[in-house]
Amino acid sequence: MKATLLALFIVFNSLLPASALDENLTDGCVADYSADVDYFPDKIEIVDASKFTVEYFNNYKVLRVADAFDGAPGFNYVLVQCGTPAPSPADFAEGTQFIDVPSGDLITLSTTQLPALSQLGLLDHLAGVDSGFYISSPEVVRMIADGAVAEVGFGAEVNIELVLELQPQLVMSYGYNPATDAHPVLLEAGIFTALDASWRELSPLGRAEWLKFTALFYNLEARASAIYQDIAAQYEAVKAKAAAVAAEDRPRVLINSFLGYADAWFIPGEETYVGRLIRDAGGDLLLAEAGSATSQGLSFEVAFEGGFDADIWLVETFGIYSGDDLLALDSRFGDFAAFQSGDIWNNNRDENANGGNNYYEWGVTNPHLALADLVAIFHPDLMPEREFAFYRRLASE
């Protein structure tokens, strides 16, 4: 009897050699672990993102997030194939979190994390969000209305009891200010919390590539890579169109959002996310600091001096839907040349009832859409038929 079993075992093993897995396990656990098997035949390669890295081992992957917020320490995660032994915590830096993958239910604390879930087909795993108030995704809104998805707070301010009750395997948070962030509280409560640093990425494609970060927790590397490749190709195609424009035909673009105190304008630097989008769309950003990856506060006077004759003005400000809204803000805005020529735009075409802007949700993982919008604004002849995804012209009624 014993010999028969042994023989069967040998035969079985020879039928399943070490390289037998030809795709990642996206469902369930490994029943018969073998140290020689590579459990992650599908691996990601990070192309544009710079804030996370992943290192593959046979039955686990080590995920590292850097620069999650100003002065952030490195965050390390060990993602262990479920059903296989986890490596010893002693071999990793203190604070390293361990999680079995493919993971189960998750809670997201930022709307920017939702598109990846729907693109990867993971919405069934969504147990909670921070708040539905600003969410654009119709599926998620419906799930909240049906009670399938709970609301646990607002941004990084979470109600820890609600989170504990949902028993998520994974919470996707983000860091901003460790004194008020959710992650120290969640970690204290023993909940696996992954920090999403995508908002720190400066390249539009780099930010979109964070879809792979989410995919790592569900062994969906192959699907994520395919989706990303498609997005990147579309982005590059649009960019190539705009790059063909002669230097003198590039419009001078003023872009700002009124987030500073009364008379300060915040103008993004050339190397910021927005600065790169404008450049890739074939526009010249006015007043931008060369080589700067941060925004600078300028006085209204200086902004006017440098921007009053801009060809196009992108007013990326909440609640502005028309030229009149802009005039109500300050009558002096009417003196800008772009205002008079009607070339003023805002990125709030696709908003939910509460003013939650899909540009900051779907647009983040699909930068090619925002880029194509911008190209159509800067060079209408290149995209005459463009149906805008996020931008609207602010007409004066």
Partner 1 sequence: MSQLVGEPVQPAKTEYKWRKSEPAALQLSREFAGARPHILLIMLIALGALLLLSLALGSALIPFDQIVTVLLSGEADQPAWTHIVLKFRLPKTLTAMFAGMALGVSGLLMQTYFRNPLAEPFVLGVSAGASLGVALVVLTTGAVGGALLAGLGLAGDLLMTVAAGLGAAMTMLLVLLVAIRIQSSVSLLILGLMFGYLVAAMVSLLLYFALPERIQAYINWTFGSFGGVTNEQLPVLAGIVLAGLLLSAALTKALNALLLGEDYARSLGANLKRTRIGIVLATALLVSAVTAFCGPIAFIGIAVPHLCRGLLASADHRLLLPGTCLAGACVALCASLIAELPGNNLVLPLNVVTALMGAPVVMLVVLRGARGQL
Residues that bind partner 1 (CB under 8 A): 258-264, 296-302, 304-305, 308-309, 317-320, 325, 328-332, 335, 354-355
Neighbours of 128 (CB within 10 A): 23
Smallest separation, CB 184 to partner 1 (Å): 22
Residue with smaller CB distance to partner 1, 32 or 305: 305
Residue with smaller CB distance to partner 1, 57 or 304: 304
Smallest separation, CB 294 to partner 1 (Å): 13
CA 246/CA 310 separation, integer angstroms? 18
Query: Is there a contact between 280 and 204 (Cβ–Cβ < 8 Å)?
Result: yes
Smallest separation, CB 297 to partner 1 (Å): 6
Residue with smaller CB distance to partner 1, 12 or 318: 318
230: left (phi over 0), alpha (psi -120 to 50) or beta: alpha
CA 81 distance to own-chain centroid? 25
Per DSSP bridges, beta strands 153-154 and 157-158 are antiparallel
Smallest separation, CB 20 to partner 1 (Å): 52
Q: What is the DSSP letter of 358?
A: G
- Distance (Å) of CA 165 to CA 150, 191, 346: 10, 11, 41
Residue with smaller CB distance to partner 1, 85 or 319: 319
Smallest separation, CB 251 to partner 1 (Å): 19
Q: Which residues pair with 297 in a beta bridge?
A: 266
Smallest separation, CB 229 to partner 1 (Å): 35
* Three-state secondary structure call for residue 194: strand
- Tokens found for residue 391: 């931008």
Q: Whose structure tokens read 């189960």?
A: 104
Residue with smaller CB distance to partner 1, 165 or 301: 301
Smallest separation, CB 39 to partner 1 (Å): 43
Residue with smaller CB distance to partner 1, 349 or 368: 349
Residue with smaller CB distance to partner 1, 32 or 335: 335
CA 260/CA 298 separation, integer angstroms? 9
Per DSSP bridges, beta strands 295-299 and 344-346 are unpaired
- Tokens found for residue 243: 């790059």
